[in-house]
Amino acid sequence: MPRKQRSNPKTKHQAIELRKESTPAERKLWSRIRNDQLGVTFRRQHAVGIYIPDFCSPKAKLIIELDGSQHLEQEEYDGERTKYLESQGYKVIRFWNNDVLNNIDGVILAIIHAMEGEPNKD
């Protein structure tokens, strides 16, 4: 049986380009979650349908989105995106870039709690 494509070639190409242009917050978080450091594999800019989440763990069914100030003006789009990703079985958690840059240990703890199905205990 042929495998179902998770994205189209255009979206896949966009994901490749986005990986080359990581923000400082994306680079910092990636350095802490790459290579199975949290016990699961995460992928950067991993296309899911027409969307390209910042970080995705297909096995844990967890998506991590990092938001900068531009997200204050696109709440409706982010809501639609989250709704779609959740319809695909993913749990979506969001962090402000500032949180990643200034409190990476707290962000990592929140990610671990999300993977365990626990509420954030900040």
Q: Helices (DSSP H) in 43-88: which residue ranges?
A: 75-87
Cβ atoms 103, 74 nearer than 8 A = no
Contacts of 14 (CB under 8 A, 6+ apart): 47, 52
- pLDDT for 24-83, tens place per residue? 999 999 999 999 999 999 999 998 988 999 999 999 999 999 988 664 567 788 889 999
Contacts of 30 (CB under 8 A, 6+ apart): 22, 42, 44, 55
The predicted model scores a pTM of 0.80
Tell me the residue type at 28: K
Work out the mean pLDDT of the chain and round it to a whole number: 85
pLDDT class of 120 with cuts at 50, 70, 90: very low
Query: Mean per-residue pLDDT for 74-96?
Result: 92
For residue 104, is pLDDT > 70? yes
Crossing angle of helices 24-33 and 104-115, in 10° steps, is 50
d(CA 98, CA 102): 6
For residue 122, is pLDDT > 60? no
Query: Mean per-residue pLDDT for 80-88?
Result: 94
- What is residue 83's three-state secondary structure? helix
**Ordered domains of the chain (ranges, CATH):** 23-115 (3.40.960.10)
Query: Mean per-residue pLDDT for 8-22?
Result: 65
